[in-house]
Chain A
């Protein structure tokens, strides 16, 4: 029980250590971004407010803002808009990812399903998402549903492609090995196929989430009652760049936090996989 056995049996400690320390390069990158931002302010001037000014606007108007109501925005400062955009992304990505994963897995496992879904996804996948957005607004109105559907639509296409590809890249030996041990298709699906495609599904989920924030904000720019995009449009009308940037900044912070949580979840779910595929 010496040497390789002992070190190999303690992945847990490595795991905890990786969580406790932020990546020094990431910290450096963040500081560099702030420096560049400050520098851009000196170079461009008033219409590129420095980080501190943007932070001040964000804090002053965070949960209540007379200024915002003066611009025709609802009561409550940034908060209800951040909540609205976040809910849009959560609901849109969840519904879309679930749908896309289901159709993607079905396509990879069944010829009939492939013949049904493949042409639909090919056509929908080629529709530029920004071109689709105005149609959703016309069909579903300015209500929250339009932007949720837009995010869900995109997430479904992404997850369909990831899930389908993951199953088809799966080594067929795993299924054969399972079959010679007596596994029926149901057990093979949930004990072999599903865990095997988890790393890829998380990749798709992160792609969908990453794009989801932008798509939700764009849908809100085009027309919505709530959402960070609505704030940006309203403050744009009065050339308040600091307020616009504050909205984007806070949305970016939420997006990064959510992504970090997804990465944590992925690390746990795919803890069996090699570290290199798990960073």
Chain B
């Protein structure tokens, strides 16, 4: 289940608010994502990042354009595209193990096989000993680990993450970023990760796609070595990316032209 390229072709999406105003959330977005890439979608809030990600998940109808995965146009959500939400979506009525097994259960895997796989992923996200805990007994960061274990265990080759660490404290966020990089390095799943945090994108991404008012305004490769600690992030190339992104976000200081990236 690996090696599904994503192709986003001229995708537009507009919503009609209750007041009658039409909002263009996405305008003519085209993007190719290769199998195994780690792409961050970056932009101000309300500029289409989440809409694009939800469209990839099949949770959001397009106004025009199309999205294909492995050559086939997507029609609604599918097990090949697992999603981690910003909100806490771990099922509170299932113990950790049942949660992690859920994707394989949905795909009709036999209980023994999915239990073994769940054990593996629970251990991989550092939750050994918590398989039989209820989510209410875990901290917010631990519940995020459960959600990550669940999408990995489901076997989805494409993982969509919508500001998954947005509500966590700084230290927990860094722990989970390291965990995610580690899992990505080991599995090479395709990860599309929405964030509004430049630093987070620099830590995680191979490629940063900047969205502004529903359009793709830049597509920056990040050729920095892992792990991306503060020294790596202080290298000239990293700073150049930061400046370019800040300029796109309208935050560049006047009189200091951004370095060409």
Contacts and interface: CB of A to CB of B under 8 A. Distances in A.
A179 B57 CA distance: 9
Contacts of B137: 8-9, 11
A179 B59 contact: yes
Interface string B52-90: 000001110000000000000000111101110101010
A166 to B, nearest CB: 13
Contact of B102 (A183, A195, A274): A183
Nearest to B129: A1
A198 B94 CA distance: 13
Interface in A163-188: 171, 173-174, 176-184, 187
B127 to A, nearest CB: 11
A187 B129 contact: no
Contacts of A262: none
A181 B147 CA distance: 11
Contacts of A9: 133, 137
Contacts of B83: 176-177, 180
Contacts of B58: 179-180
B interface residue count range (under 10 / 10 to 19 / 20 to 34 / 35 or more)? 35 or more
Given A181-B150, A272-B136, A273-B136, A176 B85 contact: yes
B199 to A, nearest CB: 26
B184 interface: no
Interface string B18-59: 000000000000000000000000000000000000000111
Given A9-B133, A177-B83, A274-B136, A182 B78 contact: yes
Contacts of A98: none
A271 B85 CA distance: 25
A196 interface: yes
Contacts of B170: none
Nearest to A11: B137
B89 A173 contact: yes
Given A180-B57, A180-B160, A187-B105, A272 B89 contact: no
Nearest to B90: A177
Contacts of B135: 272
A130 interface: no
A144 B241 CA distance: 80
B107 A182 contact: yes
A273 to B, nearest CB: 7
Nearest to A196: B93
Contact of B91 (A4, A174, A179): A174
Contacts of A181: 79, 82, 102-103, 106, 150-151, 154, 156
Contacts of A273: 92-93, 136
B93 A176 contact: no
Interface string B164-204: 00000000000000000000000000000000000000000
A177 B93 contact: no
A191 B102 CA distance: 9
Interface string A97-110: 00000000000000
Nearest to A10: B137
A179 B76 contact: yes
A191 B99 CA distance: 10
- Give the residue among B134, B138, B151 with the most A Cβ atoms within 10 A: B134
- Give the residue among A191, A198, A274 with the most B Cβ atoms within 10 A: A191
Contacts of A258: none
A8 B156 CA distance: 32
B106 A187 contact: yes
B87 A173 contact: yes
Given A1-B129, A179-B59, A182-B154, A272 B85 contact: no
A4 B105 CA distance: 31
A9 B57 CA distance: 35
Contacts of A11: 134, 137
Contacts of B59: 176, 179-180
A180 B160 CA distance: 9
Given A1-B129, A179-B76, A273-B93, 7 more contacts: A4-B139, A9-B137, A171-B87, A177-B89, A178-B102, A180-B83, A181-B156
20 contacts: A9-B133, A11-B137, A171-B87, A177-B85, A178-B106, A179-B59, A180-B81, A181-B102, A181-B150, A181-B156, A182-B106, A182-B154, A183-B102, A191-B91, A191-B105, A195-B91, A195-B93, A195-B94, A196-B93, A271-B134
